[in-house]
Structures are given as structure tokens and as C-alpha cells.
């Protein structure tokens, strides 16, 4: 591992440092330019002021004024000013007309004439001894048009002149204030941008770990805000998908566990239910086999009882087979159009022929052309199961089946009896497999507790729903829905409108 740790600056400082350095560089360049401009401007002003002195002296001479008195006036005027060390000498020929300070030598070489065309004074540097001109700020030689009067001017580079040219205290204060304000603006700007970046980083860190993210009150109105919004939407969609997947997984797992539990319970119940008839059959057969001298009446009785238990065993196996087939192939059941009126009409005839309802009277009220999407054999077996169940357990006198309502997608039927009904505590369990209200009586009647379970599985496999309740007038009523022909299995409606009163009583 490398011993040297890399220093990692935060995004805020990596944005602030180059930004503020760039601002400072711009201010420095502008300051240098302004300083040079101001220095040159002030130098020009002072030089123009000195050139104006020469010009006024020559103007006074040409107008006929006394040059000596005017020079003395200028000396007094500039005595306490920036030009108090100014040296001016006016010569007419070899005669000195007047001077400010010590007179300058008349033997200055390389003089340049006064320009008569534009009436302006030409400023000429002294080019004599370098030691004499080294510390001079300004030198000039001017003369009148006729050349009789010459003005020599020299201004030393004094401390006062230097301060006048280079004194920029107010400028430095302005630059300092501007630099401070610019630095503050850059600091606040980068802090604002970095704050959004920091929030975005925390946002993405939480999203990457799958943690819940609270939506900010508002996103910044810029690209970072757009990115944050998109990440928030993607994260929420991802969490919703994960939650949905987990929920579906839990539901599927619960369904698998329930199915496994039901299979175990069913296996145990089947095992328990098989033991009784098998044991009875074995007992009768063993008795017959071990008693060869048994009288015919007793032998016939034992054989009849064994046959009854064989029938009971066959019925149990058929019911188990039916409910298993419904569980495993509920989505593969072949469907066709089933006319419920014709089907129930045929069941009514079968009941009368076989006396399936015993002493109870079966009646129905199903309109013509009441066509459902279903399996005729399954619906027929389901209704026969309900009739058999009512005949065995209700102890009533009537069984009815009728269409009570319909919706655009389904029919709602009611199967009822006028028997003794069922206690409220048993109602939630009537569709449970192998559930018996009176265990002894049910076994004696040959029931295994699978009849209503088969009814429920049949209705659900055909895309309907089923419920049961005790009637206020007595007896039990089972309400179930079946899809109309041409309708899909999903989206059945439970709301219904009254069906027409057509059929048979």
C-alpha cells in the first residue's frame, strides 16, 4: 500500500480555488492597466502644465507685456505648489529678462525652433551633460517667432512630483474592496453549487445502498436539479419494483407453503378417512373367512356392510381425485358455452329418477338463454354435490336454485334449502376440506367433508366466486357467480341487476 496519502479536496474547494485565482488574475491585469494609464495620464497633465508656463511667457512677450514681472509673478505663484523647484530662464539675446530659481545656462545646445505653422510650442529634452538631465522630469527650450526671446525650462524629478504621479491610495482601496467583494461572490457561488453537488452525492449514496430517500422540498432550477429529479424518479421506481418483487415473492412463497400445508393436511385426512372403511371391510371379510359355519343371513349382512364401505371408499377416492384435478389443472379446464336452464332441467330429471334429494323437493328458477362459460360436467357435478349435501345434512323439505342477479360480465346464482341451517361459528369453515359439523353423523351418512370444498374449487376454477350464509327464514344459502359466455376470467363484477322471472318452479 502506498504510504503517501493523496490529499483529496472537496468539490467546493476544487471549484473555488481556480475560480478565485482567475478572478484575482483578471483584477491584477485590470489593475496594472489602470495603474499605467493613470500614471501616464498624470504625467501628461503635469507636462502640459509646464508647457503652458512656457506658452504664457512667450504670449506675454508678443503682446508687449513686461516678461520680467510676469516671470516673478509665476515664481511667487508656484512657490508653494508642486512646481516650487521649477527653474525657468528667459533670455533676449544674451540678456537675462527673468528667471524662476537659479538661471539656466544660455549655452544649451540642440535647440529647436518655435513652429510658426501651428502656433504650438515644441517640447525639447536637454541633450547636454547626462549628469544634468538624469534627474530632470521635464526640460524644454522655446523661442518666439522672431527668435529674439528664448525660454529655458527644467523641472527636477522631486519627491512631490513622484508622489503626484504614483500616489494611488484611493485606487488601492477600491481594488481591495472590489477584490474582496469578488472573492465573496465566488465563495458564495461555489458554496451554492457545491451544496447542490453535496446533496446530490448524499442522494446517490443513499440510492446506491437502497435506503429510502426523502424528496427535497424543491430541486435547484438547473441541470443539477434535473439530474436529481431523474435520479429520484429512477430510485423510487427501483424501490417500488423491489417492493413489488418482494411482495410477489412473499405471496408466492406463502402460496407454496399453504399448498404444501394443504397437501400435508389432505394426505393426513385421506389416510385417516381411508382407515375407517378399509378397517371395516377387512373386519367383515376376516370374520367371514374365519367362520365357515356362519349362517347365510349373517354372512349376507356382513357382505352388504362390506359393500357399503367399498362404495364409501370409492366415493372418497372420486372426491379426492376431483379436487386434486381441480387444484392442479384449474387453468387447463376446457371451457364451452353451457346453458344453465337446460343443465338444471336435466339435473331436475336426474334427481327425480334417482331420488338423490330423498324426501326433499327440488325446484329452480333459471331463465332461458342463461348461457355461461364453463365446463358442463364440472357444473353438473357441483350442483349434484350441493343437492346431495342438502339432502344429507339440512333435514329440510325443499331445495331451490335460482338466478338472483346479473351484471354485464357474470350471472349470480343462489342454491338454498329450508333446513336447520348452520351455527355461525361453522360458517367460515364450511368450504374447508374434510371439515364436518357433526363428525359422527357425517361419517355414518358416508360424507368425507369434501363436498363443499369441491364446489368452491369448481367455481373458482371457472373464474367465479362463492360464499355461504344462513337464511333469515332458516336453512343455508350458497351464492356463486359464473362468467357469461364470451367474458374473460378477470374482472368479474359482483354488482348485479335483478334477473327476469322465467323458468320453472
Summarised one tens digit per residue, pLDDT across range 247-291 is 898 888 888 887 777 677 666 656 655 666 677 777 778 888 888
Of 263 and 459, more confident: 459
| Residue 192 domain-assigned (yes or no) | no
103 vs 500, higher pLDDT? 103
Residue 281 belongs to a domain: yes
Examine the domain organization and report whether 346 and 291 are in the same domain: no
Q: Are residues 295 and 380 in the same domain?
A: no
Is position 167 within any domain?
A: yes
Provide the number of structural domains found in the chain. 3
Residue 491 clears pLDDT 60, i.e. is over it: no
Poorest-confidence range of 100-114, 170-184, 375-389? 100-114
Strand ranges across the sheet with 87-92: 95-100, 87-92, 149-156, 136-143
Distance CA 365, CA 375 (A): 21
In this predicted structure, the answer to whether residue 325 has a pLDDT above a threshold of 60 is yes
**What is the pLDDT at residue 175?**
87
For residue 428, the enclosing domain spans 331-505
Q: Would you say residue 439 has pLDDT above 60?
A: no
Domain check: are 136 and 226 in the same one?
no
pLDDT of residue 434: 67
Domain-located, residue 135: yes
Of 381, 370, 354, 445, which Cα lies nearest the Cα of 404? 370
Determine contact, residues 227/56, Cβ cutoff 8 Å. no
Residue 198 within any structural domain of the chain? no
Q: Does residue 320 register a pLDDT over 50?
A: yes
**Residue pair 168/35 in contact by the 8 Å Cβ criterion:** yes
* pLDDT of 342 over the 90 cut: yes
Residue 432 lies in a domain: yes
- Residue 474 belongs to a domain: yes
Domain boundary among 171, 186, 203: 171
Q: Is the dihedral of CA 195, 197, 198, 204 positive or negative?
A: positive
Name, of 84-88, 318-322, 488-492, the range with top average pLDDT. Answer: 84-88
Domain end among 171, 193, 223: 171
Higher pLDDT, 190 or 100: 100
Tell which wins on pLDDT, 342 or 358: 342
> In sequence order, what are the residues at sequence separation of 6 or more whose Cβ sits closer than 8 angstroms to the Cβ of residue 429?
435
Shared-domain flag, residues 458 and 497: yes
Checking if the pLDDT of 128 tops 80, the result is no
pLDDT at 490: 47
Helix, strand, or coil (residue 367): coil
Segment 102-131 shows an average pLDDT of 45
Could you tell me if residue 320 is inside a domain? yes
Evaluated on CA atoms 292, 298, 300, 304, the torsion sign reads negative
Q: Which residue has the higher pLDDT, 135 or 47?
A: 47
Instruction: Give the other-Cβ count within 10 Å of 227's Cβ.
Output: 16
Instruction: Quote the CA–CA distance of 470 and 477 in Å, as a whole number.
Output: 6
Determine the pLDDT at residue 22: 92
Residue 126: pLDDT above 70?
no
- Residues contacting 144, CB < 8 A, separation 6+: 58, 61, 62, 114
Mean pLDDT of 151-168: 87
pLDDT of the residue at 427: 83
Higher pLDDT, 489 or 402: 402
C-alpha cell read off for 441: 353423523
Long-range contacts at 494-497 (CB < 8 A, ≥ 24 apart): 494/407, 494/412, 494/465, 495/407, 496/404, 496/405, 496/406, 496/407, 496/410, 496/412, 497/405, 497/406, 497/407
Please check whether residues 356 and 479 belong to one and the same domain: yes
- Tell me the pLDDT tens digit for each residue of 385-402: 889 888 888 888 999 999
Three cell numbers, residue 322: 376431483
Q: How far apart are CA 360 and CA 395, in angstroms?
A: 9
| Alpha-carbon distances, residue 492 vs 410, 422, 477, 482 (angstroms) | 6, 28, 21, 9
- What does the mean pLDDT of the chain come to? 78
377 and 504: one domain?
yes
Out of 295, 328, 361, a domain closes at 328
**Dist. CA 489–CA 485, nearest whole Å:** 10
The more confident residue out of 466 and 502 is: 466
Same domain for 339 and 324: no
Predicted local confidence at residue 123, as pLDDT: 34
Provide the pLDDT confidence category of residue 405 given band limits of 50, 70 and 90: very high
- The answer to whether residues 339 and 257 belong to one domain is no
d(CA 47, CA 460): 112
Terminal CA-CA length for the chain? 95
Which pLDDT score, from 0 to 100, does residue 132 have? 42
Q: Let me know whether 402 and 477 are in one domain.
A: yes
Whether residue 119 is predicted with pLDDT greater than 50 in this model: the reply is no
Please tell me the predicted confidence (pLDDT) of residue 240: 82
pLDDT of residue 214: 65
Q: Can you tell me the mean pLDDT for 474-481?
A: 91
30-52 mean pLDDT: 90
Residue predicted with more confidence, 474 or 121? 474
Considering the domain architecture, whether residues 275 and 362 belong to the same structural domain is answered as: no
Residue 229's CATH number: 1.10.287.130
**pTM reported for the whole predicted model:** 0.43
In this prediction, residue 73 carries a pLDDT of 92
At 460, the pLDDT band (50, 70, 90 cuts) reads: confident
CATH value at residue 442 = 3.30.565.10
C-alpha–C-alpha distance, residues 167 and 80, integer Å = 19
Does residue 13 carry a pLDDT above 70? yes
Average pLDDT over residues 294-299: 82
Higher pLDDT, 318 or 192: 192
Q: Does 352 share its domain with 460?
A: yes
pLDDT band at 137 (very low <50, low <70, confident <90, very high): confident
Cell output for 419 = 333446513
The pairing of beta strand 361-365 with beta strand 371-374:
unpaired
pLDDT of residue 447: 53
> Do 391 and 494 have their domain in common?
yes
Percent residues over pLDDT 70 in the chain: 75
Amino acid at each position: 500500500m502506498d504510504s503517501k496519502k493523496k490529499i483529496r479536496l472537496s468539490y467546493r474547494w476544487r471549484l473555488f480555488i481556480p475560480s478565485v485565482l482567475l478572478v484575482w488574475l483578471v483584477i491584477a491585469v485590470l489593475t496594472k492597466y489602470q495603474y499605467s494609464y493613470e500614471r501616464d495620464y498624470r504625467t501628461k497633465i503635469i507636462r502640459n502644465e509646464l508647457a503652458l508656463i512656457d506658452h504664457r511667457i512667450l504670449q506675454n512677450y508678443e503682446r508687449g507685456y513686461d516678461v520680467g514681472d510676469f516671470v516673478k509673478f509665476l515664481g511667487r505663484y508656484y512657490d508653494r505648489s508642486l512646481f516650487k523647484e521649477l527653474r525657468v530662464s528667459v533670455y533676449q539675446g544674451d540678456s537675462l529678462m527673468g528667471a524662476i530659481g537659479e538661471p539656466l545656462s544660455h549655452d544649451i545646445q540642440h535647440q529647436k525652433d518655435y513652429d510658426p505653422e501651428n502656433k504650438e510650442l515644441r517640447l525639447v529634452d536637454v541633450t547636454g551633460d547626462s549628469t544634468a538631465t538624469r534627474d530632470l522630469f521635464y526640460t524644454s527650450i522655446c523661442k518666439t517667432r522672431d527668435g529674439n526671446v528664448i525660454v529655458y525650462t527644467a523641472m527636477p524629478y522631486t519627491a512631490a512630483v513622484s508622489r503626484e504621479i504614483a500616489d494611488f491610495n484611493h485606487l488601492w482601496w477600491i481594488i481591495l474592496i472590489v477584490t474582496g467583494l469578488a472573492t465573496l461572490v465566488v465563495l458564495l457561488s461555489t458554496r451554492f453549487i457545491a451544496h447542490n453537488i453535496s446533496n446530490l452525492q448524499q442522494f446517490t449514496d443513499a440510492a446506491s445502498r437502497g435506503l429510502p430517500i426523502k424528496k427535497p422540498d424543491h430541486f435547484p432550477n438547473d441541470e443539477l436539479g434535473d439530474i436529481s429529479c431523474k435520479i429520484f424518479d429512477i430510485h423510487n421506481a427501483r424501490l417500488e419494483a423491489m417492493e413489488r418483487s418482494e411482495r410477489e415473492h412473499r405471496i408466492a412463497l406463502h402460496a407454496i407453503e399453504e399448498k404444501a400445508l394443504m397437501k400435508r393436511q389432505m394426505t393426513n385426512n385421506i389416510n385417516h378417512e381411508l382407515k375407517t372403511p378399509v378397517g371395516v371391510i377387512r373386519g367383515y371379510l376376516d370374520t367371514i373367512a374365519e367362520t365357515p359355519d356362519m349362517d347365510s343371513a349373517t354372512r349376507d349382512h356382513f357382505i352388504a356392510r362390506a359393500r357399503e364401505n367399498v362404495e364409501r371408499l370409492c366415493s372418497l377416492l372420486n372426491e379426492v381425485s376431483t379436487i386434486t384435478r381441480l387444484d392442479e389443472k384449474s387453468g387447463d379446464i376446457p371451457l364451452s358455452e353451457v346453458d344453465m336452464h337446460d343443465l338444471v332441467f336435466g339435473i331436475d330429471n336426474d334427481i327425480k329418477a334417482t331420488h338423490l334429494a330423498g324426501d326433499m323437493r327440488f325446484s329452480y328458477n333459471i331463465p332461458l338463454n342463461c348461457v355461461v362459460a364453463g365446463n358442463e360436467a364440472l357444473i353438473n357435478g357441483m350442483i349434484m354435490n350441493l343437492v346431495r349435501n342438502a339432502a344429507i345434512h339440512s333435514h329440510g323439505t325443499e331445495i331451490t336454485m335460482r338466478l338472483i342477479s346479473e351484471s354485464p360480465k357474470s350471472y349470480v346464482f343462489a342454491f338454498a334449502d329450508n333446513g336447520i341451517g348452520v351455527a355461525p361459528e361453522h360458517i367460515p369453515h364450511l368450504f374447508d376440506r374434510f371439515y364436518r359439523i357433526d363428525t359422527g353423523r357425517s361419517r355414518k351418512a358416508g360424507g368425507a367433508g369434501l363436498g363443499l370444498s369441491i364446489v368452491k374449487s369448481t367455481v373458482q376454477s371457472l373464474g367465479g366466486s362463492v360464499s355461504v350464509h344462513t337464511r333469515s327464514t332458516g336453512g343455508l344459502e350458497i351464492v356463486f357467480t359464473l362468467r357469461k359466455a364470451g367474458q374473460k376470467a378477470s374482472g368479474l363484477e359482483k354488482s348485479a341487476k335483478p334477473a327476469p322471472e322465467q323458468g320453472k318452479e
